[in-house]
Each structure stands twice: as structure tokens, then as C-alpha cells.
Structure 1
């Protein structure tokens, strides 16, 4: 077959089957381009990542917000409040101070199921941390105090075994306190001034710049892959519905045992287990408590108002059972615990 014959056949096919001819040209063109691209890529080394895609969250879109890095407080009041916080003269037997139950080296608590107050009296509930207390919307497990000042005033008689009148009389006999109060407060040593100084000090006990806060601020290297997965599980299981905001909790009330009867299973129910019912008298508030903050939770066991959970993993499993109504795979419990460890911050006070 000569060239003229091939040309005539080519022209014949083009006239008789134009669509097939176009498709054939397209395939030929694609093959040529693929071959050229393959040749260009041959000298290069192709690396396939086995790591999941890193998503940097925007703190504005996250249910948890970072703790402010600085807080403006009166330096003199902070220092005076710190002195009062550690002074055993505020107890009836001169043996117990606020610092006895709220140890700053133990996560702002004392790692006891029940703290021991003045004259050896055992407290009815587990001592919550004093760290980041300024970010709570109510105070004490049953939320009976609406302000930090009200809590300080209300707890002295119960924990310290002394009336405020007696405590103020002790302070007025101490020359160092007389001088300090006269410098800061025009009317010297009074109950409102003592409470104010302690409250200002407690507001200074923020723990900002946790690794998770750094992550929220855009440092995606602050968390490991496992910790990021723990946070994802924390949100997907619904834990974040109660534990959110700046304090990862501390901003709402919730029943302990939304699904399942925790107290019936535990037995030995005490009046303290009734929670907010002891404040309101409403049956709807029985077993309702202020949701605790999870800030620094990894360094402040045991957990719950009754101090029965000794480890994070145990606490997570109990919450899953009675709040979510489902068991969690052990691997997921472990990942959530790893995330919670990233909430440990840096004790820091900024004053002005």
C-alpha cells in the first residue's frame, strides 16, 4: 500500500467517523503528555507522608479559649493576700491555713479525698483547685457562693473553726499586719479588707501558657499527634459540652449521673452527695454540681466531689459511663488522658 492509498484511507475515515477520530486524537495527546510528565518526574524523589494533616485551630472557633497571659492586679494587695493565705493564725488552733488545703506545688489542692481542717475536722467534699479560680462562675461544688469574696467569707467558720471576729482580732494584734493594711487600705484591718486582699491574691493564681493554649494560639507543634487526636475525641464524644470556655469547665451546673445512677451504684450516700439540692431545696437539683475546671487536672488528683477517682483514666471511664452512657475503648481513654495532660499551665502572676 502506497502513501497515496494511506492518505485516501485517512481522509475517508476522517469523513466517515469524525467523533471517533477526535477521541483517538485526544487519547494520543493524553498519552504523549503523560509520557512527558513521567520523564520530568523521574529524577525527583517522591516522599509520601504517613502523618495526618495538621489543622491549626482558630481559638475564636474553638469551644476552649486560652487563659490570658497577663492579668492586671494591685501588687501590694497580691503580696498581702499571699501572706494571709499562708497564715495559720486564721485558724482556731493556729495549725491550718488556706495553703494547707490549696498547695501550689500540688496543683492548687492537696491530693486528698477529703482535706483536714482545723482541730482535725475532715471536710465533707474533695478540695477543688485554687488555680484559675477567677474564671469560675460559681464557687464550691454546690455553687452556693456567687462571688469569690462570698466564698472566702463563708468558708472560714467551717474550715478554720474560727469566727471572722476572732480572726480579725488576731490580725489587729500583729504589728506587721497593722502596718501593711494601713499602707494599702485607708481604714486598716477590717473584714472587707482582709477578704479583698485574699481574693485579689487568689485571682492572681492563673496558670496560662499550657501547651494546649500554645496550640490554640497557632503553635501546632505544641501538641503531639496523639494529643491532637485526644482533643478530637474529647469533642466528638461530647465531653466539651460541659468542659469548655477559658477554664475548660467551671461555668455551668450539671447532674452527676445524667445516664445511670452513680450514687446508687456507689452506695453510702451522704448529704454532701445531694449537691446543689442543699442550696436550693429543689428536687431537680439533687445530685447537681458545678462542673469542675479541667485546667491542671493531670496534677490534681483525686477527682470528683467525693475524691473517688484516683487516676485520669478512671475518671474518664466513670464520666463515659454515667454522663455519656457508653463505654469507651481503652485506646480512646488513653488518648483523651494525653490531651488532658496538655492543660497543665505555668503558675504566673502579673500585677500592676
Structure 2
């Protein structure tokens, strides 16, 4: 179902539409496009490590990847369906899905539900994280990182990047204001800054607050930030140094951190490819 385009209103969009294998599970666009070319409001992060994160979406308005999967088919700029019953009608019209839902959710009178759609896609997404050279280094393989990468890791820790970009995902486990020290849009050149979680919670304390992004696969998943406003990773590192830490990073330090980030790239999962699609319902 993750690769199924026939669920969308225009027949061209699937979950994988915004999460490409050649872009490490992202799409390389500042903001993604959904049905009929409609622009999404924010950048699509990589799906490869979404299972590690404490909430879904930049503003954390989805509690889990399962909830995110449940609601995507009715997003006006994603799949475009008016409601989930319309999705069920499409699924039941494609031979194969009824049998697979029955096998995946046995004992249910009607296993083809919105909740089970989310559970199934979430189960697939939880197979996608893969170990990186950095994980091998943490396991004790000191040769997994080059001397330059190790120096970059030390700088990453010393200046405070790891205070937010922590945990198994090197981020993705908390919220933080983008622009603790200075306004982020002044550094990224954005004319109309996104208000972040404040639009969700209606709380002024959440103004410009976003989920701290995971840095796994970051080298291959630009452009960066919630609005895709910065294309170059080294520049993004500089923006973070300035806005979050109040530091004007030297060329040497910014390059060192960027070099370390290259050790966070995983391989593309072997199961991350579209299966042979079920045939369309025969037409009379």
C-alpha cells in the first residue's frame, strides 16, 4: 500500500511519491507536491528513520507514524480523498487487497479499516531503519569512522549540537524553537516564516517551535529545515550554529561537522521498492 498510486484521487500519488529511494527516503524538493500538483506546506523528511521519532510531522500534529498513515489519504494536498470510506471503496475494487487484509488481520468481520491501513503501513515503515557506520562506531568499532569524521563528531558534541540532536535518531525526540538566539528567517532568507506548533496548539509559547529533525541520512536528504529553505548542508550547519547556539562557525568547524554527518547515511532497505501491482478490476 505504501507504493499504491490508485488510492489517490488523480491515480498518481502514493506514500512513496514523497519518499524516494534515490533520495534516502525524501524527495529532494523544498516542499512536496501531491495530487494534481498541489504543494504541501512543508518539506518531506526521510521516511527511513521515522519509526525512531517521538511524533510525526514537523509540528508534531500526528502522534505516531500509524496515525500519520491513517490520515494521509484524506489530506487535500496528498492523496486528496474526501474521507476514508472513499479509500476503502478503492481498495476493495482492486483484487488482492481484500485477501491480504484478511490474512494480516485475521478474525475480523471486516479487516479493511482505516486503523488497519495505518497499522499495516506503520509496520512496513518500522522495517526501514538500517545501521550506519556511526552505529558501528558506537558499538566499539573505532575504525568505522575516519579521523576526520571523529574530529567532526567531537566538534558536534563540544559546541552543543548533541544537546538537541540526541538519542537513537540524533534528533526526532523533542521540540525546540527554531531561532533560540536569533530569528531563523533572517538567516534562511524566508519572507513568510512558518509559525510552527503555535498553529496547532494555539499557544504563543509554541511560536516557531518545531520537532528537532533527526540527522540520520541528512547528507542525502536536502534541502533542509521545515521549509526546505537551505539547499547546502554546510550552510544549514552554519544557520543552526547561529540561530540555536549564537555561534559564527568557522569554515573549518562547519566542514568538520558536515564530514561527521556523512557517517549517518544508511543503506537503502532491500524491501524499499514497489512490488508488482495487483491488476485493476476487470472492466466490462
TM-score (normalised: structure 2) = 0.89
Q: 1:294 aligns with which of 195, 209, 215?
A: 215
Q: Give yes or no for contact 1:253–1:290 (8 Å, CA) kept in 2.
A: yes
Q: Partner of 2:277 in structure 1?
A: none
Distance in 1, Cα, partners of 2:123 & 2:190? 40
Distance in 2, Cα, partners of 1:332 & 1:134? 31
Distance in 2, Cα, partners of 1:205 & 1:155? 19
Map 1:242-261; keep pairs closer than 5 Å.
242-261=164-183
Q: Give yes or no for contact 2:70–2:117 (8 Å, CA) kept in 1.
A: no
- How many residue pairs align between the two structures? 264
The alignment partner of 2:99 has SS state of helix
Map 1:1-352; keep pairs closer than 5 Å.
84-158=1-75, 159-162=78-81, 163-186=83-106, 187=108, 188-208=111-131, 210-264=132-186, 266-270=189-193, 273-348=194-269
Deviations 1:186-238, CA, capped at 9 Å, x for gaps:
33322222211111001111121x11111111111111111100000000000
TM-score (normalised: structure 1) = 0.73
The alignment partner of 1:346 has SS state of coil
Distance in 2, Cα, partners of 1:148 & 1:347? 19
Unpaired runs of at least 5, structure 2: 272-284
The alignment partner of 1:88 has SS state of coil
Q: Give yes or no for contact 2:43–2:225 (8 Å, CA) kept in 1.
A: yes
State the Cα RMSD in Å: 1.4
Pairwise CA distance, 1:349: 7.2
Q: Give yes or no for contact 1:276–1:287 (8 Å, CA) kept in 2.
A: yes
Q: Quick one: structure 1 residues 267 and 205, their matched pair in 2 at CA, closer, same or farther if it must change by over 3 Å? A: closer
Distance in 1, Cα, partners of 2:55 & 2:159? 26
Distance in 2, Cα, partners of 1:252 & 1:182? 37
Computing the radius of gyration from Cα coordinates, the structure with the larger value is 1
Unpaired runs of at least 5, structure 1: 1-83
Deviations 1:17-42, CA, capped at 9 Å, x for gaps:
xxxxxxxxxxxxxxxxxxxxxxxxxx
